[in-house]
């Protein structure tokens, strides 16, 4: 089955700096790669996703890149703000079934 590894486990940046979180996956059949943000006491919230037929996707300050050959994908957050502080999860699946999540990255943005 799919195995997703996520790094780093914790990340601290200064407000305004960029943050990068990286994930690798094992199953070459995976074709859907979402990123979720989870705040304390809440469920994961989808922030951006990418399908295997594209290599990059951007939504304002957030971007995701996918390298299918190397089986890794990354989340890039630019101009970080204190409200970006949360736990971020990457995930991989084939068509959203049996979605496998990484262990999470706790991002802290210092004012």
Partner 1 sequence: ETGVTQSPTHLIKTRGQQVTLRCSSQSGHNTVSWYQQALGQGPQFIFQYYREEENGRGNFPPRFSGLQFPNYSSELNVNALELDDSALYLCASSFYRGNSYNSPLHFGNGTRLTVT
- Specify the residue, 3 or 18, whose C-beta has the smaller distance to partner 1: 3
Q: Which residue has the tokens 């780093």?
A: 8
Which tokens sit at 97? 């079934």
Q: In the complex with partner 1, which residue's Cβ is closer, 10 or 18?
A: 10
Distance between CA atoms of residues 92 and 15, nearest Å = 29
86 contacts partner 1 (rule: CB under 8 A):
no
Least separation in angstroms between residue 98's CB and partner 1 is: 5
User: Which strands form 56-59's sheet, in the order they lie side by side?
Assistant: 4-7, 19-25, 72-77, 62-67, 56-59
Interaction site with partner 1 (CB under 8 A): 4, 6, 32, 34, 36, 41-46, 49, 89, 91, 95-104
């Amino acid at each position: 089955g799919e195995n997703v590894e996520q790094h780093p486990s914790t990340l601290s940046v200064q407000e305004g700096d960029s943050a990068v979180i990286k994930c690798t996956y094992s199953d070459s059949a995976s074709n859907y790669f979402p990123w979720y943000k989870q705040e304390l006491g809440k469920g994961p919230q989808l922030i951006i996703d990418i399908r295997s037929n594209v290599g990059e996707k951007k939504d304002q300050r957030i971007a995701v890149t996918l390298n299918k050959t190397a089986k890794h994908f990354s989340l890039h957050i630019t101009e970080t703000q204190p409200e970006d502080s949360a736990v971020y999860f990457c995930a991989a699946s084939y068509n959203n079934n049996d979605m496998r999540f990484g262990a999470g990255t706790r991002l802290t943005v210092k004012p």
